[in-house]
Amino acid sequence: MADTGLFNNVYNPDVLSCLANLSNDEVFTPPDVVNAMLDMLPQELFQNPDTTFLDPACKTGVFLREIAKRLIVGLEPQIPDLQERVDHILKHQLYGIAITELTSLLSRRSVYCSKYPNSEFSVTRFDNTEGIIRFRKIQHTWKNGNCVFCGISKKTELGRDERGDTLEAHAYEWIHTLKPEEIFNMKFDVIISNPPYQLETEGAGKQAKPIYHLFVEQAKKLNPRFLTMIIPSRWFSGGMGLDSFRDMMMQDTHITKLVDFANAKDCFPQNSISGGVCFFLRERDRTGDCEFTNIRNNSVNTVIRALNEFPVIVRYNEAVSIIHKVTAKNEEKLEKIISSLMPYGLSTNYRGKSIKSQPDDLILHSSQGITYISPTEINKGFDSVYKYKILISKTGSEHAGEPGKDGSFKVLTSSLKVIGPGEVCTHSYFIIGCFDEQKIAENTLSYLRTKFVRFLILQSMSSINLSKLVFSFVPMQDFLKSWTDEKLYIKYGLNQDEIDFIESMIKPMDLDGGDDSGK
């Protein structure tokens, strides 16, 4: 192998591996993950002195550094002199846009071996202080109280200023322009990155707003030969404001490879990322089905399939045949009897009275226990108030949507139960069914507790949060009778491999109110 000591001597031990193991708001990419992404590319790219690469969201500079290592080896036959080769690579092939001033310095240190590439310590000398890894302080463009590019609220940004807890506006240059091609006034063969994932909002519970999709969409505008990014997998079936992005990705036949990690810790050991993470390869000059790889509990499964086969992306290849058998019966779906979130119009922090004050007071279920309220407090869901129904937590069992140590899930919490006429709930729960008979409600409850149902729910889950949408694969049944996994496996003709997969994925349901952490 060619002499790459210029880089290897500087990074021993690899400081970027250490940074990637830090728990931080910014998710740094470990070098081994970067190289897995680079391995998806045609390797002749690293033997071509004209190939250009762009990281539009530099954090540590690890993408550009690992590309440089490959180019140093690949270009040796054409540019034998090491210094000449390094100069060419760093001045003409590797471009970056840092997300903050601090990460610009870190990225230049990683790539040029100096924060300032016009210094004597830089491995290649530029006549400016940034080389071609740039950072510009960009301002948000406000309209009706929100940024027209990233959607962050002006109130949120002003709040940061008042608290004095940040010097950055988080107005990332790559997504705060209508013409990204004008940033460097050139096209790129490869765009590769790990973009910022989210921005805080002023919404309920300070729900974070995803922005990673904006980096992908902006990159597609430049139509590079190859586009690869590592992003949360939540877009597979959910995520705030990601419906159009999901549809765009599912219909894009240029996405030829997608590698999905059900547990984000398999990529980022110290970061909990709800719904896992994935990286993909989009090839401008090629179309077809996608090579879809799922990695779960050290098990790797790869299948060639269409991304748009189902309304959501089913992450487990082994689940596809099961879903085919279920949907082949063309049954109505359970979601038709599931309420909206906040089924009775009562917010999560709503609290009733500790004792009944009137005979017709309703029992209120909240995260703080049972209290009582007047029927006049209800402003929706009237049809189910005096019926039997099933109370279900709006959050799933697993923290951040992560599986347990054995890779399996509980999916639903053990708090699942039948509640009777005159019982309602806050936004902490939603309800399933509207039954005249308690027995029918109990049969429905037993159905929900089966591994079969919880497995089908899992296929549409993208985070810890539940809604009626996650039941889109769950079929309705005749609830005049009870259901067990054995009966359901027979009804849908599942073979032993399919049964074994469900059994390996789903934990038994705790019926004693025990720990629901899923760990």
What's the pLDDT at 472?
A: 92
- What three-state secondary structure class fits 458? helix
What's the pLDDT at 513?
A: 47
What's the pLDDT at 153?
A: 86
Region class of 260: left (phi > 0), else alpha (psi between -120 and 50), else beta? beta
What's the pLDDT at 518?
A: 38
Beta bridge partners of 389: 419
Burial classification of residue 328, based on how many CB atoms lie within 10 Å of its CB (0-12 exposed, 13-18 middle, 19 or more buried)? exposed
Local mean pLDDT, 10-residue blocks, the chain (519 residues):
49 47 60 97 98 96 97 97 97 96 94 94 95 94 93 76 57 95 95 91 63 96 97 90 94 98 87 89 97 92 96 95 97 94 92 92 94 95 96 83 81 93 95 96 97 95 84 96 97 98 92 47
For residue 255, the one-letter residue type is I
Residue 297 phi/psi, 5-degree rounding, is 50, 45
Q: 341: which 2 tokens?
A: 């979130």
Report field, pTM of the whole predicted structure over 0.75: yes
What's the pLDDT at 27?
A: 75
Nearest to 71 by CA among 89, 55, 58: 89
Judge contact between 136 and 168, C-beta under 8 A.
no
